[in-house]
Amino acid sequence: MTTKSMPAFIQLALVLASPFTLVASQVPGTSDAPHPEEQVLYVTTESFKSEVLESSLPVLVDFTATWCGPCKILDPIIDGLMPEMSGHAKIFKLDIDKSPEIYTQFQLAGVPTVLFFNKGNEQDRIIGPQSREVYIKYLKGLKRGTPALDIKIALLGEDSFRRDFIENQRPDEIRKALKQFPNLLTEAFENGQSPLSLILNSLVGDREERINLVLAGNPTITAGNLVGLGRCEEFENLVAQYPEAVNRPDSDGNTPLLTALIQAGRLEERSCLRTVLDAGADPGIQDTSGFTLGRAAVHSPEVLEELLEKGLNPNHVDKDGRNALHWAAFYGYPPTVRVLLNHGADPTVQALNGETAADIARSERDQWITALTESGMNPETGGVLDLRSEVIGLLEGSESNGE
């Protein structure tokens, strides 16, 4: 999942002091605590069906975790939906560490993610914090029976919601929205970032189709965009005129080097990665993007080795506290793990959820074993499991040597 900075909306109830309220607060058996139906409660694996899927009202479920930084931004916003939505919708939180089955069932990629349900079916999902008004309008729209797409189009004026829509909605829904919101893919966001740069620096599905939709609107093309589109010669000519462009980040903190790394797999022989490196890209610059250079480089041990020798910090972490070693363990790449360990990556560092790289590798291996067993395959078969076991051995051995 990329982090968006936004204010936390906290509602304060201002109560005028009066003799009645002072006395009432002292009456035995009374309390000023909110009624249970006016609070945001937690739903679990055991109660999910009855509380969410069988609800006669629209339901919002905030998938969260205690270790998640962006979740702390969203928490007071979700809490502030009550008591206004009482009787109109049901609001729940779900701790993914206590109810991982539901998190897996709905194939979520990260937290925070908010899912909307109506009449037992998922209607939509929003990744990352939004303003309170977005959730209120969405739930009231579902209560009125407004189609989900119409609700979303009405919310596209909200900057953070438009980002989420462009990244996560299907291309056919984007096409429909363009008919009513023609500037959807060309108008810059509030911080100056362009929709094209957003797509080129995100792990979005149907990326090629989304890129073509944006290009149809003749957007302004930046140095980083040239790299992401595989227009290497144009980038080279631009840097010859403006040398500082090789390391200039876009409004979200993505440098041309990061864009080149993210797009290398998609572009293959058209990749501009070598062009960017030869032009003097500096991997030692501390990137401010939500998608770090270390994570983007773990797929190629040779490229990672070069970046580390040129100054990449192997212990730089992302918004979830994960460094390159955590991601190499997640993907199960033994050669990359070796490179990182040889360059001083610390295997004992914990991500925000408390997991070390070895913990992540063990968790991913166990999930593979479960998946293979459930599909009737022999979990002792080689391939991916052998690679993951090799990663675990490397990390556990390095941890022991460091004690």
- Examine domains 38-146 and 292-403 and report if their fold is the same: no
| 23 confidence band (pLDDT: 50, 70, 90) | very low
Q: What is the pLDDT of residues 77-119, one digit of tens each?
A: 999 999 999 999 999 999 999 999 999 999 998 899 999 999 9
d(CA 223, CA 235): 6
3-state secondary structure of 251: coil
Q: What is the pLDDT of residues 387-403, one digit of tens each?
A: 999 999 999 998 777 65
Residues 6 or more apart whose Cβ sits within 8 Å of residue 64 = 71, 74, 75, 93, 94, 95, 96, 111, 112
Predicted local confidence at residue 371, as pLDDT: 77
Residue numbers annotated as active site: 68, 71
Specify whether the CB–CB gap between 232 and 275 falls below 8 A.
yes
Q: What is the pLDDT of residues 253-270, one digit of tens each?
A: 999 999 999 999 999 999
Q: What percent of the chain has pLDDT over 90?
A: 77
DSSP class per residue in 101-160:
HHHHHTT--SSSEEEEEETTEEEEEEES---HHHHHHHHHHHHHT--HHHHHHHTTTSHH
Q: Give the mean model confidence (pLDDT) for residues 225-249.
A: 97
Predicted local confidence at residue 3, as pLDDT: 36
Q: Give the mean model confidence (pLDDT) for residues 9-24.
A: 27
Predicted local confidence at residue 56, as pLDDT: 96
- Average predicted confidence (pLDDT) for the chain: 88
**Helices within 14-62 (DSSP H only):** 19-24, 48
Q: What percent of the chain has pLDDT over 70?
A: 89
Domain 292-403 sits in CATH at 1.25.40.20
Q: Give the mean model confidence (pLDDT) for residues 333-339.
A: 97
Domains of the chain: which residue ranges?
A: 38-146, 292-403
Q: What is the pLDDT of residues 273-304, one digit of tens each?
A: 999 999 999 999 876 787 899 999 999 999 99
Q: What is the pLDDT of residues 43-75, one digit of tens each?
A: 999 999 999 999 999 999 999 999 888 899 999
Domain 38-146 sits in CATH at 3.40.30.10
3-state secondary structure of 93: strand
3-state secondary structure of 185: coil
3-state secondary structure of 391: helix
Q: What is the pLDDT of residues 173-224, one digit of tens each?
A: 999 999 999 999 999 999 999 999 999 999 888 999 999 999 999 999 999 9
| 333 confidence band (pLDDT: 50, 70, 90) | very high
Predicted local confidence at residue 331, as pLDDT: 95
107-121 b/e (C-beta count within 10 Å ≥ 16 → b): ebebbbbbbbbbeee
